[in-house]
Structure 1
Amino acid sequence: MKLRVLGSGAGGGFPLWNCCCRQCSAWRRGELDASARTQSSIAISQDGRPGDGWLLVNASPDLPQQIGATPALQPGQAGEQPIRAVVLLDSRLHHVAGLLSLRESRELEVYATPLVFEDLTSELPLLNVLESYCRVRWRMLPIAGDTRSAAFEIPGLPALSFAAVAVPAQAPRHARLRSDAAGECIALQVQDLRSGRRLFLSPALAGVGEAELACMREADCIVVDGTFWTELGLRDAGLGAVSASDKGHLPQRRHGEQPGMMDVLLASGAPRKVLTHIHHSNPILDRRGPQRRELQEQGIEVAHDGMEIEL
């Protein structure tokens, strides 16, 4: 199995176009040792060889730029389209707006839960718009009510098995209020049937309970929410009083009695641990900063655009 991180930034990427916080400003002045980041998206293939199909996990608004930087996702000489399907883990704007950039497709396979499909045909009707340009096939991931996980397959990727798992999340701003949040956000489990190796992928996590930790403990590689360093990171960066929890993310550092993502990753025992979906205020962006060194000492990596992972 091969993963390519197309985008590793949170909403807006890094630097944020209209932000003058310390980190965005320092990067523009050439004073911060950090990589620019497009918005969060990942591609998965069986082997990553020429002609292999790829699954997109979330569709970033930066998708055209990301495809342009990734030859494996570009059409072949005979016009073959390497992108076989899109799995949407939630309906956050920066995870779905890139669907509009795929409107030239003859047919688009979109895997999503009923709640995400409802959002994208009502509150944020991107799929309705897409239907005017290409045929859209919705493949339902039946996470709803008491159903918290569901196995599924992607045609063209027979060596990989997939499972959607409900995880704690905050509803997007555009979503209507609802009493049943199952399917609001999912994590993705992927197993290579040849090697047996497993991936756990969840760019947005409001918390980690026993169910989520159990999934992580089965994984050989975890790629997970790295949005904020601390619970009050936005306040400390001068960007408002909203907390990480208010935004629906578990920060890396412990907050009071609440374990942080670092605690969770260490408890998982996974051989490889990677943070993605990094907010522009998060000090782990600074490759020379003490926060990045702390992660390195714990064996935790920070994803970057173009990062490749083989399992």
Structure 2
Amino acid sequence: MRLQVLGTAAGGGVPQWNCACPGCSGARAHPARVRRHASLAVRLASGCYVVNATPDITDQIESCPWLRPGPGPRESPLRGVILTDAELDHTIGLLRLREADTLEIHATPAVRQALRPFADILAPYVQLAWHDADALPISDKRPRYATEPGPSGWVSALRITDGDSTLIYAPAMGAWPDTEALEQADCVIVDGTFWDDEEPRRTGISSRTATEMGHLPIEATMERLSRLDTRCLYTHLNNTNPLVDPAAEQHKVLAELGVEVAADGMVIDL
């Protein structure tokens, strides 16, 4: 299994178009700090997939050499998309893939139900083939646009297996996944949206804490990750997270624990 990190930012990206916080201003002044929406390219024996379809998806595909089309004029190696949830920043890119002839979408029943309007819009353009994702439920927080309660399984930690290699990917994490599943994985990439629980309220972006917004903060998970005998990385960083600044002291804290911060463009072979 080969992975390429296509993006590592939470909703809005870094910088966010309407935000002048230190994280966004820093990214505008230093382009190396720019982060696209959190996503992965995954190359398996069965084909190539993108995990989550973000607003940046076409640029993200171009950034990954083994996702680019060819040799035929309309021949793409991309077989489909695997979804962790139904949030807009993880699904709106599906509409950008309308030029495909067929597209596999792997998702939980709850996510599929929420995306029925997307499926209706895409029906005249592309044939969608729906499949159940191998998912560990970690939150029942549904997106604001989803008015119907639906079944459980709104937010998942994906378990992607290829031969003897297993990846756990959970860019949004309202509860700690099954520890045994994490211990058995060769690589774990999880929610690093906020550094601490009070960050959203302290920075003025929300009246809720990180956990109330459906994200376990890094301070609540970093010690647990450090005890896993596998490679662990954080992704889905909000623009308020101090980790968007490469000079932030928090990087040293994670380094001492042996936990990494994923970077856009990073390639991981499992």
Q: Is the 8 A contact 1:232 1:241 kept in 2?
A: no
- Give yes or no for the alignment of 1:115 onto 2:144: no
Deviates more, 1:232-241 or 1:85-94: 232-241
- Whole-angstrom distance in 2 between the partners of 1:177 and 1:292: 40
CA RMSD of aligned residues (A): 1.8
Q: Is the 8 A contact 1:21 1:238 kept in 2?
A: no
**Structure 1 pair 34/249, CA: closer, same or farther in 2 (3 Å)?**
farther
- Whole-angstrom distance in 1 between the partners of 2:140 and 2:168: 16
More helix by share: 2
Map 1:1-311; keep pairs closer than 5 Å: 1-30=1-30, 35-46=33-44, 53-78=47-72, 79-121=74-116, 125-141=117-133, 163-176=134-147, 178=149, 180=151, 182-193=152-163, 196-208=164-176, 212-253=178-219, 260-267=220-227, 269-311=228-270
Larger radius of gyration: 1
Deviations 1:235-288 (A, max 9, x none): 2223232210121000011xxxxxx11022123x13211101111110011111
**Structure 1 pair 282/46, CA: closer, same or farther in 2 (3 Å)?**
same
Deviates more, 1:9-18 or 1:38-47: 38-47
Q: Is the 8 A contact 2:14 2:23 kept in 1?
A: no
Deviations 1:68-108 (A, max 9, x none): 22221111122421101211111000000000110000111
**Structure 1 pair 133/177, CA: closer, same or farther in 2 (3 Å)?**
closer
SS in 1 for 2:85: coil
- Whole-angstrom distance in 1 between the partners of 2:47 and 2:242: 36
- Whole-angstrom distance in 2 between the partners of 1:34 and 1:263: 28
How far did residue 177 of structure 1 move?
A: 5.0
**Structure 1 pair 279/28, CA: closer, same or farther in 2 (3 Å)?**
same
Unaligned runs of 5+ residues in structure 1 are: 142-162, 254-259
How far did residue 178 of structure 1 move?
A: 2.3
- Whole-angstrom distance in 2 between the partners of 1:166 and 1:240: 25
**Structure 1 pair 228/34, CA: closer, same or farther in 2 (3 Å)?**
farther
How far did residue 62 of structure 1 move?
A: 0.5
Q: Which consecutive aligned stretches of 4+ in structure 1 deviate over 6 angstroms post-superposition?
A: none
Counterpart residue type for residue 212 of structure 1: D
Unaligned runs of 5+ residues in structure 2 are: none
How far did residue 296 of structure 1 move?
A: 1.1
How far did residue 54 of structure 1 move?
A: 0.8
Deviates more, 1:165-174 or 1:241-250: 165-174
Counterpart residue type for residue 60 of structure 2: Q
- Paired residue total: 269
Q: Is the 8 A contact 1:228 1:251 kept in 2?
A: yes
